Structure 1
Amino acid sequence: MEEIISAILADGTTSEDISGLRIPDTYRAVTIRKDDIGLFEGMASADKDPRKSLHLDEVPVPELGPGEALVAVMASSVNYNSVWTSIFEPLPTFHFLKRYGATSAMAARHDLPYHVIGSDLAGVVLRTGPGVNAWKPGDEVVA
């Protein structure tokens, strides 16, 4: 990971430099776990503490699919989506991910016993999948 950060922060790093970096097998992420869905059962929304369902885990770097980009996240935020996801409201995201996972072999990658939270980021593109033409490795992006 240090090699990626150093390359991103260095002056004059090219797209080819970023493309040549080794991508680690895993990364650190804040997750919720499917096993925790009932954690807040019977509690009022205001009494649910997101800190109880959030976990800092080492997770596998996902396989890159068509139309996707792998981004080194340099900044992210906690927002309403993060809070709702962590207290499993209005519905646990795992139900949607299971239904989506059933649509194709590539989508099945999302039907996991954990879910990496987050919906806002700023970072640098490391790799792009087939069909991605608007971005290339080294591009700074927000999502």
Structure 2
Amino acid sequence: MATTKADERARARTEYDAFLAMCPSRQLLDRISNKWVVLILCALGEDASAPPGTSPAPRAMRYSELARLLAGVSQKMLTQTLRALERDGLLTRTVTPTVPVTVTYELTDLGLSLHHLTRGLREWAQTHMDQVLAARETHDARAAS
């Protein structure tokens, strides 16, 4: 039986199925698959100063700390990404009235649950980068001949 666009929209509203074009979870997948989102979640979810072999604990970070840690991120991109993550309920933004004003970001429970997945993605990428580079080199050599 053929599915109409209206049927697909109605189904997407009643159950989340990312394979359907109208499903709102596609927007969320688009957001969380962004490299800056993954790196921000990893940064906020792990204390880089924790001793090796210990379970990293989430921590609050100031904007400037995040900017220094995330090499290559522009101020505009970092600001936009942090705002989007706050809107999605993945982190909280706390403003402390000091001179100058202190702004910190921290994962919510929802953000922490996603951090566990993004940490695995980051670790996988770092662990397998040599293999990916070798595969690219092999592919490019075949394509060039």
Whether TM-score is above 0.5 comes out as: no
TM-score by length of 2: 0.27
TM-score by length of 1: 0.27
Greater RCO between the two (CA within 8 Å, min separation 6)? Answer: 1
Of Structure 1 and Structure 2, the greater strand share is in 1
Which one has the largest radius of gyration? 2
